[in-house]
Amino acid sequence: MNKQPLGVLARTLAATAALTAFGLAGSAHAQQGQPLDFAKLEMKTTKLADNLYVVEAAPGVGNVVFLNGPDGILMVDSMFPQLHDKLVAAIRATGATGPIRYIINTHLHGDHTAGNGLFAKDGTVVIAQDNVRQRMLAKKPDGTPAFPPANVPMVTYATTMTLHFDGEDIEISHPPAAHTDGDSIVYFKKANVMQVGDLPASLRFNNIGVDDGGSVDGMIADGKLVMKMANAQTKIVPGHLGPVVGFKEITIQDTMFQTVRDRIAKMIKEGKTLDQAIAAEPTKDFNEGRLSGNITPARWVTLIYTDLSRRMKK
pLDDT tens-digit readout, 65-90: 999 999 999 999 999 999 999 999 99
pLDDT tens-digit readout, 239-285: 999 999 999 999 999 999 999 999 999 999 999 999 999 999 999 99
Please give the Cα distance from 152 to 134 (Å, whole number): 9
Q: Average pLDDT of the chain?
A: 90
**DSSP assignment string, 21-37:** HHHHHHTTTT--SSPP-
Strands 193-195 and 235-237: parallel
First to last CA, the chain: 61
CB 167 within 8 A of CB 190: yes
Fold classified for 38-246 = Metallo-beta-lactamase; Chain A (3.60.15)
Mean pLDDT of 287-308: 93
Least Cα distance to 219 among 257, 259, 178 occurs for: 178
**Torsion angle in degrees (nearest 10) through CA of 206, 210, 213, 217:** 60
| Helix-strand-coil split of the chain, %, nearest 5 | 40, 20, 45
CB 19 within 8 A of CB 200: no
Residue 14, pLDDT > 50, answer: no
Please give the Cα distance from 31 to 206 (Å, whole number): 9
Mean pLDDT of 37-45: 96
Residue 52, pLDDT > 90, answer: yes
CB 191 within 8 A of CB 177: no
Give the pLDDT of residue 34.
Answer: 66
Predicted model pTM: 0.89
Instruction: Please tell me what DSSP assigns to residue 286.
Output: G
pLDDT tens-digit readout, 193-227: 999 999 999 999 999 999 999 999 999 999 999 99
Contacts of 171 (CB under 8 A, 6+ apart): 160, 161, 162, 186, 187, 189
Taking the CA atoms of the chain, what radius of gyration do you get in angstroms?
19
pLDDT tens-digit readout, 131-171: 999 999 999 999 999 999 999 999 999 999 999 999 999 99
Give the pLDDT of residue 291.
Answer: 84
Reported as a pLDDT band with limits 50, 70 and 90, residue 293 is: confident
Task: Determine whether 3 is exposed, middle or buried from the number of CB atoms within 10 Å of its CB (0-12, 13-18, 19+).
Answer: exposed
Give the pLDDT of residue 49.
Answer: 97
Strands (E), the chain: 44-49, 52-56, 64-69, 72-76, 100-104, 125-129, 155-157, 160-165, 168-173, 185-188, 193-195, 235-237
pLDDT tens-digit readout, 89-100: 999 999 999 999
Residue 32, pLDDT > 80, answer: no
Reported as a pLDDT band with limits 50, 70 and 90, residue 314 is: low
Chain centroid to CA 259: 24
